[in-house]
Structure 1
Amino acid sequence: MSDAVLEVVVTSAEEAVAAVEGGADRLELAAGMEADGMTPSPSEFVRTREAVTVPVRVMVRDKGGFQAADIDELCATATVLRRAGAQEFVLGFLTPDGALDLPAVRAVLDSIPGCGWTFHRALDHATDRAAVRRALDGLPGLDTVLSAGSVTGVAAGLRTLLAEADRQGEPGYTMNVMAGGVLAVEHVPLLRARGVRAFHVGTSVRRRGWDSPVDPAAVRRWRHHLDTGWKDAR
């Protein structure tokens, strides 16, 4: 196997089992995928955590989307999830003008001390990506930034992802990059060749989009491609 990390979006314990069967290394648990992913119920998290042994990152997001509609409620829910055993999270909030909402992010982090987390695709909706990255640098527990490089997906944002990968290690670019958002297998070789080692998939491991469950065979195909296809990069 390669050192590539495959993260699969799941909405239930049953999908989690299917994703792991296919070879997922890590899961993102979310609800309401028709709205780009909302916070799942604590009970579904517990079911999922009991069903698999791979890491599970839990989405913290409400109806405000990339803007926090009710930060107090988000913090309360995150606290409940933490007490239920969640150790890894996915979150990220912007202000109405597209800047990082650092107070909202810090408030949630204060509710889940000691936890690792991913800053999700709010980055792709930011007015100034570089400014958001600089503001994120050094926040406790942050180890991953999920991005497609563009609002519309990796196909449009590939050049941005590659350029940012080339800056790895600079201030604002110290966290791991996870490529995701309409990610296709043909994007992988270039990304792998530039040092990107984490990949995030959702609809591409389902037969009919979010209305259908995770297909273990589709996850298995992604696993195989990550383990072998990147070696063809030039």
Structure 2
Amino acid sequence: MSNRALLEVIALDVEDAVAAQAGGADRLELVTDMAADGLTPPRETFAAIRAAVDIPLRVMLRRADGFAAGDVAELARTARALRAEGAEEFVLGFLHPDGSPDLDAVEAVLAELDGCRWTFHRAIDRAADRDGLRKAVADLPGLDTYLTAGSAAGVAEGLPVLVAEAAAGRRGEPGYGPRLLVGGGLALTHLPVLREAGIDAFHIGGAARPSGWEHPVSPTAVAAWREALA
């Protein structure tokens, strides 16, 4: 069995996507507007990226900064349009103001996804009860991944939580079946502890852009992560 870990890179456009694939990314997370921490990209952007690369794409379904769903009917229409364009994998996750999962909103979007695979994103890091959220969404169709830093403050603070959740997954505890995809302030220096814990999926955004978000993904930066995760 290969020990190779999954490397997912945030892409905003075709230039990012091509560079990330060239650097060795295994999958892309497609978003727009990183000032709002990543929103749904235009359907046309998805189509252009899908035509330019041949690695899997996970498309963000999120209309506004924060973790409230907002206009759920519009989110569902967006999901339907992306599915019609050929999108097969998604990223979503919504919370009520009290930090509990907004299951109605999540289920309304999932109804448009035909069982597609999806990631519950870093909303879990803002949940009032992480374990409760996991158990509440455990049986939703298509859920196979949590994107998490283990803490709202980032991976450096969340390492103990991530290690504990990886152990819970190995024990087969309810709600801990989906894969841990670690991202949010992730640094190369975090990898030894995470890999030792058995975590095998990693997500980078800013780390793929040493010159900042106003510049495109660097294939060299992605390749350095790919090498570290080989």
TM-score (normalised: structure 2):
0.97
Matching of residue 188 in structure 1 with residue 191 in structure 2: yes
1:105-120 aligned at under 5 Å gives the runs 105-120=106-121
Q: Equivalent residue for 2:52?
A: 51
1:40-72 deviation per Cα after TM superposition (whole angstroms, max 9, x unaligned): 000000000011110000000011531011111
Aligned with 2:180 (options 177, 180, 189): 177
The percentage of counterpart residues that share the same residue type is 54
Q: Equivalent residue for 1:19?
A: 20
Structure-2 separation of matches of 1:7 and 1:38 = 17
Q: Equivalent residue for 1:127?
A: 128
Structure-2 separation of matches of 1:210 and 1:99 = 31
Aligned with 1:203 (options 192, 203, 206): 206
User: Which sits farther off after the overlay, 45-54 or 60-69?
Assistant: 60-69
1:119-157 deviation per Cα after TM superposition (whole angstroms, max 9, x unaligned): 000000111111111111121000000100011110010
Structure-1 separation of matches of 2:105 and 2:134 = 16
Q: CA deviation at 1:209?
A: 2.5
Q: Equivalent residue for 1:212?
A: 215
Structure-1 separation of matches of 2:12 and 2:191 = 25
Q: CA deviation at 1:114?
A: 2.3
Q: CA deviation at 1:17?
A: 0.4
Conservation of the 8 A alpha-carbon contact between 1:34 and 1:210: no
Structure-1 separation of matches of 2:213 and 2:35 = 7
1:139-187 deviation per Cα after TM superposition (whole angstroms, max 9, x unaligned): 1000000100011110010011001111002101011111100101111
In structure 2, the residue corresponding to 1:19 is in which secondary structure? helix
For 1:101, the aligned partner's letter is D
Q: Equivalent residue for 2:61?
A: 60
1:67-86 aligned at under 5 Å gives the runs 67-86=68-87
Q: CA deviation at 1:192?
A: 1.1
Structure-1 separation of matches of 2:137 and 2:215 = 35
Structure-2 separation of matches of 1:3 and 1:114 = 27
Structure-1 separation of matches of 2:111 and 2:158 = 32
Q: Equivalent residue for 1:88?
A: 89
Structure-1 separation of matches of 2:173 and 2:138 = 10
Q: What residue ranges of structure 2 are gaps of 5+ in the alignment?
A: none
Conservation of the 8 A alpha-carbon contact between 2:150 and 2:162: yes
In structure 2, the residue corresponding to 1:166 is in which secondary structure? helix
In structure 1, the residue corresponding to 2:229 is in which secondary structure? helix
Structure-2 separation of matches of 1:47 and 1:175 = 30
For 1:194, the aligned partner's letter is A
Q: What residue ranges of structure 1 are gaps of 5+ in the alignment?
A: 228-234
Q: Equivalent residue for 2:145?
A: 144
Conservation of the 8 A alpha-carbon contact between 2:5 and 2:200: yes
TM-score (normalised: structure 1):
0.95
Conservation of the 8 A alpha-carbon contact between 1:9 and 1:30: yes
Q: CA deviation at 1:211?
A: 1.6
Conservation of the 8 A alpha-carbon contact between 1:39 and 1:61: yes
Q: CA deviation at 1:190?
A: 1.2
**Aligned residues between the structures:** 227
